[in-house]
Chain A
Amino acid sequence: MFTFISDWFFRMTWLYDGIAWLVEDIFGLSLDSRLGNSLHFFIYDIIKLSLLLIVLVFLVAYIQSYFPPEKSQKTLGKYKGIKGNTLGAGLGVLTPFCSCSSIPLFIGFTKAGLPLGITFSFLIASPLIDLASVILLAGIFGGQIAIAYVLSGAILAIIAGTIIENLHVEDQIASFIYERGIEAMDYDIVLTQKDRFIIAKNEVKVVYRRVWKWIIIGIGMGALIHNWIPTSLLHAVLGKDNPLAVIIAIVVGIPMYANIFGMLPVAEALLAQGIGLGTVLALMMSVTVLSLPSMLLLKEVVKPKLLMIFVSMVSIGVLIIGYLFNTIEYLF
């Protein structure tokens, strides 16, 4: 049953065959030729990812409309220590969030008096392991890899948050956050089923507008990796024999601002070419959490020292995850 869903919905074998027919019989290009294969990869992946994005983002936005950040903040306020960090990471998965809205969220949590460590656990987990990406990873790479990704991401968020808590760097937050404003405002929001549908529909539009460029770039890169970049070159840079592979993957990921939908074709292509699982995971994590644009946003609310602590801790965490999974890859 799972295989059926996976083949039909996630891998879209029907679409694969349909596009194969289009490329071979209509365009007259063999799938064995480079051009034919690239063209097939490109058309098939664009349609597949667009469909997945629409369905998953809609579903997830609908579920998430039941978990607004105001609620998460209240729940988190009741816990302290590692329990709070764990819950922070867990709620990060459920709370609607992208790095572009990290700042208002960060401000809101901090003003509400949540411990800094818990806020950071939430901030790290949220973009790293959102619900849509977990479903997507499970569907395309299988349950084991998805679980490995989620667990390692969650542990990273919990440990990094705990360390930040114990460093006592509360003075590293921009002072305007602590300025007193109007006292807690009343929330008077009632959502009907129709509202939730509209919210989910709008979310699909917003996400699509933001990431379509990255999906096309990602697919283009995937096609390059599949057919045009010599395998030997790829392996020399990112292969298992290069001890620096994971570090290179992380550095390459930093200037990119994609989400998991854009990274997927790249990850698929890299895995297919025999690049280590850890290296691929490190690249995906680096793109989602360490991306330069979201760092620039965070810089508005925390002072450079805390930003450095955050960046170095996440980098070290992703580094460990990368090398760990390269080492234990044979288990999967």
Chain B
Amino acid sequence: MVIKVVGKGCMTCENMYQAMKSVIEKHKLEAELVYVKDLKDIAKLGIMRTPALIVDNKVKASGRGLNAEEIEAILGL
């Protein structure tokens, strides 16, 4: 599983990245976590609102910061 947190490094994005990290540790997920920060890379992904969460090339959330519980719900954990 490849998980991407997309954001320009604002507070909300940072919080979501940390939340994602904690979810991976808590559930011992075998996931590669990537933090996409560069504007050009964000453009390549076609994301229009940050922060966004991408799981295996599927956009699961865009334009809202998620906390750990919300991430768990989205991942079905």
Q: Interface on A for B, CB 8 Å cutoff?
A: 68-70, 73, 96, 101, 103-105, 107-108, 111-112, 176-177, 179, 181-182, 184-189, 198-199, 202, 206, 300
Known contacts A185-B57, A186-B57: A68-B62 contact under CB 8 Å: yes
Report how far A105 CA is from B44 CA in the complex, Å.
Answer: 13
Question: Of A69, A181, A199, A202, which is within 8 A of B44 by CB?
Answer: A181
Residues of B within 8 A of A73 (CB): 48
User: With the chains together, A70 CA to B48 CA distance in Å?
Assistant: 8
A185 and B40 contact, CB distance less than 8 A: no
Q: 5 tightest A-B contacts by CB?
A: A181-B44, A108-B48, A188-B58, A107-B43, A69-B48
- Partner among A181, A185, A206 whose Cβ is within 8 Å of the Cβ of B43: A181
Q: Does B49 contact A (CB under 8 A)?
A: yes
Query: B residues within 8 A CB of A184?
Result: 46
Q: Chain B: which residue is nearest A183 at the CB level?
A: B46
Q: Which residues of B have CB within 8 Å of A103?
A: 39
Known A-B contacts A104-B49, A185-B54; A176 and B62 likewise in contact (beta carbons under 8 Å): no
Residue of B at shortest CB range from A96?
A: B63
Main SS at interface, chain B: mixed
Name the CB-closest residue of B to A111.
B46
Do the beta carbons of B44 and A104 come within 8 Å of each other? no
Distance (whole angstroms) from the CB of A36 to the closest CB of chain B: 40
CB neighbors of A among B37-69 (8 A): 39-40, 42-50, 54, 57-65
Chain A residues with CB under 8 A of B48: 69-70, 73, 101, 104-105, 107-108
* Complex-state Cα separation, A62 to B70, whole angstroms: 18
A-side contacts of B65, CB under 8 Å: 202
Residues of chain B touching chain A, judged by Cβ–Cβ distance below 8 Å, are: 12, 39-40, 42-50, 54, 57-65, 70
* Contact (A188, B44) CB under 8 Å given A69-B49, A101-B49, A300-B39: no
- A179 B44 Cβ-Cβ under 8 A: yes
> Contact check: which of A104, A188, A202 meets B60 at CB < 8 Å?
A188
The reply to whether B45 and A181 contact each other, CB–CB distance below 8 Å, is yes
CA distance A112 to B65 in the complex (A): 25
Asked if B39 and A185 sit within 8 Å, CB to CB, the answer is no
CB distance from A202 to the nearest CB of B (A): 6
Check if A176 sits within 8 Å of B45, measured CB to CB: no
A183 and B67 CA atoms in complex are apart in Å by: 28
CA of A108 to CA of B45 in the docked complex: distance in angstroms?
A: 9
Q: Is the CB of B58 within 8 A of A186?
A: yes
Contact residue among A182, A206, A300 (Cβ-Cβ distance under 8 Å from B46): A182
Query: A173 CB to closest chain B CB, in angstroms?
Result: 11
Instruction: Report the bound CA distance from A206 to B63 in whole Å.
Output: 12
Chain A residue nearest to B40 in the complex (CB): A176
Say whether B59 contacts A186, CB under 8 Å: yes
- Provide the bound-state CA to CA distance between A98 and B12, in Å: 16
State in angstroms the CA–CA spacing of A186 and B44 once bound together. Answer: 14
A106 shortest CB reach to chain B, Å: 9
Residue of A nearest to B62 (CB): A189
Say how far B32's CB is from chain A's closest CB, in angstroms: 16
Which of chain B's residues have a CB closer than 8 A to the CB of A177?
43
Question: Chain B contacts of A189 at CB under 8 A?
Answer: 59-62
Task: A68-B62, A70-B48, A96-B49 are known; give 18 further A-B pairs, CB within 8 A.
Answer: A69-B48, A73-B48, A101-B50, A104-B42, A104-B43, A104-B48, A108-B46, A111-B43, A111-B46, A112-B46, A182-B44, A182-B45, A185-B54, A185-B59, A198-B64, A199-B63, A199-B64, A202-B64
